[in-house]
Structure 1
């Protein structure tokens, strides 16, 4: 039975960052990964693959140039699923090699196998060839990520009915697709396939989507996706999915109106991958969705010495925040100093168009009773927007009337996830409207939208 200073279960963003941080403290670290190679869901089926698929789809379809050349413009006329997968393979191989090199350079031991608790400080790992290993540690991090939620009424088959992991194994592009679930994953895939000219129907039992995003942004986003032919069927539940004899599927909806399409993607949530960890033996438990409760500052669980980070602890379930959570958890687990997780972090949704947001929404500002003013800029108002052929896209900033401080920044459109960091920096440094009005931005850039939005707010604010 081998002893380690720190054991990490899972090698996704949280596990990777935690292991490397612990190694930099000079500790003996073990990472256990049950997947084929290191990287976790983020590298193999989540963040990196879906974003690569998005970029490939936009490039090969000529999506970004259609503002100039019309909707029928294509870079590659007969785009196939294998075209999409070719780039995916190149990107994933590179990511895995970088990660394996990081582990090797920092002398982190990695082991492939299924880990489960024997007791609070003992981990049993079932290896690839049936062998069993036992390890002990006083500091253990659970960074096991999530798996797709697969309800019994959905007859998943990996050919016409997919979950959000299986969709990457697609063998051909369908003519029509129904996406069930208007969460982040469902919306990302629905809009990516819509950009590939697949007829997409998005089904969601609630009447709204992405409730944590500013409503004005969601209204703009909804208009854009409807304008290009996506069908939104909200407020009705999918009750049954039937595979049709001649091919395709029928989704039987609550209320009797059914949907037929060639393929179905079920993306209504994910579950923490905790079912095989034998949590009871170490005194831990998980909620109905397999998530583990932690202290939001230290990421410690209720059991001393055991920490959890990443998607397995729930919202925000972002690769970026998971990395920070893992690093902070490693510091606390090993008795080192750590800063508190930042209050405001950028949230990026890689749909088509992108959405990114940081700080308070207008709804939250109103709820808190803060006197405020908004400034809005449309990307078409910028010279760079014209050069790029953009007719859509907007940036919205919310300022306090009393202090003139930036309270929230919200962007929908091309490059939103890159542009948001200017707003993030000003927000976290407690900057005001005056920063945007008084500073010079490169011309022509989309970042100029910050100045346009700030002047829009300034025009309506009392000047002291």
Structure 2
């Protein structure tokens, strides 16, 4: 029996960050990974592969230059699946090499095998050579991630009817594809294939795309998709998928429509990979989708000493938030001080175009009864946007009228997942509209859109009121007691004259 301070099951974003954090606190850590190589779903079938595929598709297709050279412009006339896979393999090898080096440098032990509970503090690991190893620890962190949901009614064959994991192994790029499911994964892949000039149809029973995103951003995004002839069958359900002679696939919709395509991607949900863990032996149970419930501040499950982090605990299921969850869980698990995670984090959707958001949406502002004002900047208004040939994309800022604080930042367009971090910083540091009005941004850049959007809101809000002693009122939150900051302009002028 091998004894550890922390056993981490899974080496994805949550697992690896947790293991390294615990190791840096001089704890003995073991990582168990059942995949062929470390990295988990994020490295091998999820985050990194899909984003690499996206970047390769945009580069080879010449997508970013079509604003100047027309929709027919292509860097490589005939793009093959092998072209996409070549860059993917290089990227994955690099990611695995970096992770293995991090484990070695921090003296994190890792073993390949399938882990399952024997008791709440003991696990057995079934290795590939049929050897069974038992290990125990003071704390155990489950970071096993999720896998695609595969209903028995869908005739998956790995060639023309696939899930999102199998899509990375396709041997040819389809001329037409039906995507069942308009969630984040479905929309990302649908827009990538659209950029490769495939005819794309998206089917989803919900009446609108991405209903957790600000409605105005989704409307702009939807317009861009329809503008390039993507078919969005929203509020409609795919009832049947069947193979046709000649290799085609037919999808029957509950409205009576039948869509025939070269390929079908089923991307309607994922399930937690917890079915092989023997959870009852530890006193745990998962929900109907295999996910675990945790304390949102400590990520401890209902069983003391057992933690869970990452996609297996549900929303938001982002690599970035999973990393932070893993780090916090590891610190709590080994008895170190851990701060509560930041309230506002960026959400990135790597579609074409990108969407990224942080803070409250306009709909949430209305629900909470917070008086607000918005500022909008379109990328075509910036010189950088014109240089890049952008005719779409916008930045939206939402401010409280009472406190003038930034409460939401929403971006759709080129570089959205990078641009959002400026707004995230201002939001979490409780900055106001004056930050954007009074600060200088590099020119020409897309970040200049923050200045434009800030001024747009400021013009509607009016200048900040000041009393006769030049004091300014600042509320830290919409419900906080205001504090007064004396500016004393005359005193500052005297100081400046002395200098």
TM-score interval (norm. to shorter): over 0.9
Q: Find the counterpart in structure 2 of residue 207 from structure 1.
A: 207
Matches within 5 A, 1:288-303: 288-303=288-303
Q: Find the counterpart in structure 2 of residue 150 from structure 1.
A: 150
Q: Find the counterpart in structure 2 of residue 441 from structure 1.
A: 441
Matches within 5 A, 1:244-283: 244-283=244-283
Distance of 2:261 and 2:153 partners within structure 1: 17
Cα shift at 1:245: 1.3
Distance of 1:41 and 1:405 partners within structure 2: 38
- Cα RMSD, aligned residues only: 0.5
The question of 1:391 aligning with 2:391 is answered yes
Q: Find the counterpart in structure 2 of residue 420 from structure 1.
A: 420
Q: Find the counterpart in structure 2 of residue 26 from structure 1.
A: 26
SS in 1 for 2:156: coil
Distance of 1:236 and 1:106 partners within structure 2: 51
Q: Find the counterpart in structure 2 of residue 458 from structure 1.
A: 458
Matches within 5 A, 1:27-176: 27-176=27-176
Larger mean Cα displacement after TM superposition, 253-262 or 175-184: 253-262
Q: Find the counterpart in structure 2 of residue 378 from structure 1.
A: 378
Q: Find the counterpart in structure 1 of residue 218 from structure 2.
A: 218
Cα shift at 1:253: 1.1
Runs of 4+ in 1 over 3 A off after TM superposition: none
Q: Find the counterpart in structure 1 of residue 339 from structure 2.
A: 339
Q: Find the counterpart in structure 2 of residue 361 from structure 1.
A: 361
Cα shift at 1:330: 0.3
Deviations 1:386-418 (A, max 9, x none): 000000000000001111100100000000000
Cα shift at 1:314: 0.2
Distance of 1:342 and 1:212 partners within structure 2: 19
Cα shift at 1:326: 0.2
Cα shift at 1:240: 1.0
Cα shift at 1:462: 3.1
SS in 2 for 1:197: coil
Task: Give the gaps of 5 or more residues in structure 1.
Answer: none
Cα shift at 1:34: 0.4
| TM-score, length of structure 2 as denominator length | 0.93
Larger mean Cα displacement after TM superposition, 447-456 or 247-256: 247-256
Q: Find the counterpart in structure 1 of residue 350 from structure 2.
A: 350
Deviations 1:53-95 (A, max 9, x none): 0000000000000000000000001000000000000000000
SS in 2 for 1:137: strand
Distance of 1:210 and 1:234 partners within structure 2: 11
Distance of 1:12 and 1:279 partners within structure 2: 20
Cα shift at 1:209: 1.7
SS in 2 for 1:156: coil
Deviations 1:127-160 (A, max 9, x none): 0111111001120000000000000110111100
Distance of 2:236 and 2:395 partners within structure 1: 32
Distance of 2:117 and 2:253 partners within structure 1: 42
Deviations 1:291-328 (A, max 9, x none): 00000000000001000000000000000000000000
Count of matched residue pairs: 464
The question of 1:187 aligning with 2:187 is answered yes
Distance of 1:14 and 1:272 partners within structure 2: 14
Cα shift at 1:332: 0.4
The question of 1:237 aligning with 2:232 is answered no
Distance of 1:94 and 1:113 partners within structure 2: 23
Deviations 1:81-124 (A, max 9, x none): 00000000000000000000000111111100000001111101
